[in-house]
Amino acid sequence: MTDVDTLDGLRALVAEAEAAGTAEARWRAVAAVDPALVEHIIHGGSADVPSDSGVSQVVAVGTGASPGVAMGVVCLTTADVLDAVDRDEDALLVREETSPTDEVGMRMAVGILTARGGVTSHAAVVARGWGIPAVVGVPDMVVADEHVTLGDLQVDAGTMMSIDGRSGEVVVGAMEATEPSGLESVPELSVLLEWADEVRGERVGVRANADRAEDAARAREFGAEGIGLCRTEHMFLGNRLPLVRAFLLATSPNEETEALEALGAAQREDLKAVMVAMAPLPVTVRLLDAPLHEFLGEDGPEGWREHNPMLGTRGIRLAVLREGLYRMQVQAVLGALDDADGAGVHAHAAIMLPLVSTASELALVRGWVLDEIETWDPVEPLLVGTMIETPRAALLASEMAEHADFFSFGTNDLTQMVFGLSRDDVVQRMMGAYLELGLFPADPFAHLDGGVVAPLVAAATRSGRMVRPGMEVGVCGEHGGDPESIHLLVKAGVDSVSCSPFRVPVARLAVAQALIDLDG
């Protein structure tokens, strides 16, 4: 029973357990703390304000996608954000939805607010990874060229607005907020998390989803035991987008080769930085998996235009059509390992193939990967695994295991495909009504579905291990940082969960609590 939800309660609990000096007392303390308290300590939040206090009131409520409170002037473009920063003003980036072209504005903003999207949308995933407050999927919010409307209310660019990334509340004006305490200023929390790690032992690890060296370093500060998901497509945001576009739009072998060389050099440099930051802990590198519209725009050029890009030429499918892509990425991984070794750092990496549906496509592309590894002849062997994120792959996990050294469940896409719901569209249009009517017990993108998705993870894990006994199984979807989902995943038998760096402390506690519950 997690009934300790205040900082004073945490301090008293830790003091009592330290005085007792027993493992039983430490475990009881771990089991008693609400994971939401850990999140609040790290991110802070909005304060309870009486309705007659005169403080600006809530004008809209969306989906809280990344916790914390952000207050800044409304900026409708990246250029607006940069202008605000130049004026020494905090900027709140407000968009219909975000894409990789917004990367600079997202990084410079104090918070992100979008009209579309859910907890696994581009804005939500990036914001959580960077520890930036975000609210997404705000009903009746329309973003125009110089203003945003919330129902009947028009808010001009440059107006002060606030968001609470936990509750989803949006306020015009300043929001009363509590400052984050941070791990360093609450030693009792650090002690509790060490006890949680003691409970976990070697049973279930906690890793981070991280794509930049600074994210990897932050994840280590929060106690991550490696990187469970390094999304290589996130290394091509912002000013790297032209490199990907040049490859995709190449019209001759020479153009494609030149584009791949440029991509490979950039990828090798970035991967080395991530591996060095995380060494000697392992880094699982997922080869490119992004819907084409994120690189080419919504419409895309003729020949690449897709009506449903989330189910289009993504992941391993693009690699099958353009064989040089994954070969280049494997060479970049191997080169990064060599570069790290040359710098006196012993890094470890594994390669993960995404969005697989058939054993034959997995076998084909794995063969290319192994060819590149053999040509490079690394100091130590690299594991080559796959993400299980399509229902077919999960149901045929035993076939997949014949061609994979490990599994990692991508629960974002697995949930999307099991339910037949667009993870970017349903929140704004229907999720509220479904939850209000009791048609869904919870948003399945926020909390893992216990009816089908969690049992599917458990069944696929068992099937895979029947073919490869002892095969490592992880989870790298956003559910890997949600306490409710973690309980289901631990019960399903996974070896590790991976989540954004800022969710690692929560996951460390939640995994320990799940194991205590499992042990009875």
User: Is 346 marked active-site?
Assistant: no
Burial class (CB in 10 A: 0-12, 13-18, 19+), 61: middle
User: Is 122 marked active-site?
Assistant: yes
Contacts of 332 (CB under 8 A, 6+ apart): 264, 267, 268, 271
- How far apart are the C-alpha atoms of 175 and 114, rounded to whole Å? 18
CA distances to 123, 326, 329, 366, 409 from 352, in Å: 24, 11, 11, 9, 11
* Three state DSSP letters for 426-462: HHHHHHHHHHHCCCCCCCCCCCCCCCCHHHHHHHHHH
Q: Which residue has the tokens 């009131």?
A: 57
Helix ranges (H only) for 222-358 are: 241-248, 253-278, 293-296, 315-321, 324-342
Q: Which residue has the tokens 């050029």?
A: 301
What does 352-400 look like in DSSP terms, one character per residue? EE-S---HHHHHHHHHHHHHHHHHH--SS---EEEEE-SHHHHHTHHHH
Specify whether the CB–CB gap between 509 and 38 falls below 8 A: yes
Q: Which residue has the tokens 């581009």?
A: 122
Tokens representing residue 199 in the block: 């409970």
350 DSSP β-pair partners: 284
Tell me which residue of 64, 63, 103 sits closest to 82, measured CA to CA.
103
Distance of CA 230 to the CA centre of its chain: 10
Catalytic member of 40, 122, 348, 403: 122
DSSP letter at 206 equals E
- How far apart are the C-alpha atoms of 128 and 134, rounded to whole Å? 8
Catalytic member of 43, 293, 403, 476: 476
Q: At what angle do helices 187-200 and 504-519 cross, to 10 degrees?
A: 50
- How far apart are the C-alpha atoms of 93 and 114, rounded to whole Å? 8
Residues carrying an active site annotation: 122, 476
